[in-house]
Amino acid sequence: MAFDLYDFIDNRGENVLSGWVQGAGLTGRDRGALNQKIDMLQMHGSDLPPKLLAGPINKQRHVYKLIIHADKMLRPMLCKGPFDMGAEFTFLLGAIERNFKLDHDPSEATANREILLSERKRRTPHERF
Amino acid sequence: MKDFEGTLRMELRDKEYSEGYAESFLNSYIATQIKVIREQREMTQAELGQHVGTTQAGVSRYENVSYSSWSIKTLIRLARAFHVRLKVSFEPFGSLPEEVIRFDRKALERVKREDDPGLMEEPSPLLEAIVAAHPRPVDIGEWKVLMQGGQKKGTANGSSEVLSQIPESSLQQSNPQEALCM
């Protein structure tokens, strides 16, 4: 079964994940590893590939991290649904882990999810990098 | 899916990108196949751990798409526990899109050596004819009945039932009744 993937749109109308990828200085190897995990999520969801998603993150009930070990430790944050929990995922925020710490607070992802729940248009089909 | 295949094929022309994608896919493939075969064998992580000389937590570490510290020694131990062989192979990047598309639970499952059709006796023309007449999967019990003359429970002569399903052209070279009583 294929899943639908979406990216959150910020209050300036920009795709948060695309903006993150452009600004994070990812190498080709980072992009390859990132797209591989995203492809797997899109094609198989989170049940078949073991531990594809980590979470829910502490104190953020609906936020998961996609774990990518490449040149950088990429940790894009996402949620299941939030409208069709069994058929879609929405990327909420890009993040990188350094010394076991994320460079963005997961509560930002929760806030973006809350906005999305009240404004359904604040997401767009996932854009491939 | 054709669009995806084409896009990925184009992306893989970038050397660094292709290495990142392929290495990540390799780790995902190994971890997922370990989980799929363990479940196919109805083993717990702890039981598999006992076979390979590690703990439940050790197996849990292997069943993680982000784990990348594989050794051939560990993989051979896992292969022995699953009653399959380990195959390690260098491949060109161009074959990757097809592997990505084919990846699913069914494609990752493997039969045990006890049920391995490749280890059965050399197929005879009669066997091939039986296979051709049974496009659906035949279980091992049914297979043995067919090869031993088709004597099925409640059937006076199961071989005639079997023969009726085999194309005549396949039986012309030998006496089918004799052949069925191998």
List Cβ neighbours of A109 (8 Å cut-off, separation of 6 or more): A57, A60, A63, A77, A78, A79, A92, A93
Q: pLDDT class for B107, splitting at 50, 70, 90?
A: very high
User: Across chain A, what does the average pLDDT equal?
Assistant: 94
Q: What is the Cα A32 distance to its own chain's centre?
A: 16
B-chain residues near A31 (CB < 8 A): 17, 20
For residues A25 and B131, which has the higher predicted lDDT (pLDDT)?
A: A25
Name the nearest CA neighbour of A24 among A96, A86, A87, A78: A96
For A58, the 3-state DSSP assignment is coil
List Cβ neighbours of B135 (8 Å cut-off, separation of 6 or more): none
Range of the domain at A20: 4-125
Decide if B106 touches A, using CB distance below 8 A: no
Decide if A44 touches B, using CB distance below 8 A: yes
Instruction: Reply yes or no on domain B2-113 having CATH 1.10.300.10.
Output: no
The predicted structure's pLDDT at residue B172: 43
B-chain residues near A27 (CB < 8 A): 16, 20
The predicted structure's pLDDT at residue B62: 98
Which part of chain B is CATH 1.10.260.40?
2-113
Q: Say if residues A68 and A58 touch (Cβ distance below 8 Å).
A: no
The predicted structure's pLDDT at residue B158: 42
List Cβ neighbours of A116 (8 Å cut-off, separation of 6 or more): A8, A82, A90, A92, A122, A123
The b/e string for B143-170 (b: 16+ C-beta within 10 A; e otherwise) is: bebbbebbeeeeeeebbeebbeebeeeb
Decide if B26 touches A, using CB distance below 8 A: no
User: In this predicted model, what pLDDT tens digit does every residue of A57-84 receive, in sequence order?
Assistant: 888 889 999 999 999 999 999 999 999 9
Total length of chain B: 182
Q: Which of A28, A40, A69 sits opposite B16 (nearest CB)?
A: A28
Segment B96-102 shows an average pLDDT of 97
User: And the tokens for B2?
Assistant: 């054709």
Indicate the number of domains in chain A: 1
The predicted structure's pLDDT at residue A60: 83
Dihedral, A128, B2, B7, B9 alpha carbons, nearest 10 = 140
Q: Say if residues B8 and A40 touch (Cβ distance below 8 Å).
A: no
Burial class of residue B122 in the structure, from the number of CB atoms within 10 Å of its CB (0-12 exposed, 13-18 middle, 19+ buried): exposed
pTM of the model: 0.79
- Least confident span in A60-64, A85-89, B93-97, B158-162: B158-162
User: Across chain B, what does the average pLDDT equal?
Assistant: 81
pLDDT exceeds cutoff 80 at B82 = yes
Q: pLDDT class for B121, splitting at 50, 70, 90?
A: confident
Low-confidence ranges of chain A (pLDDT < 50): none
The predicted structure's pLDDT at residue B171: 43
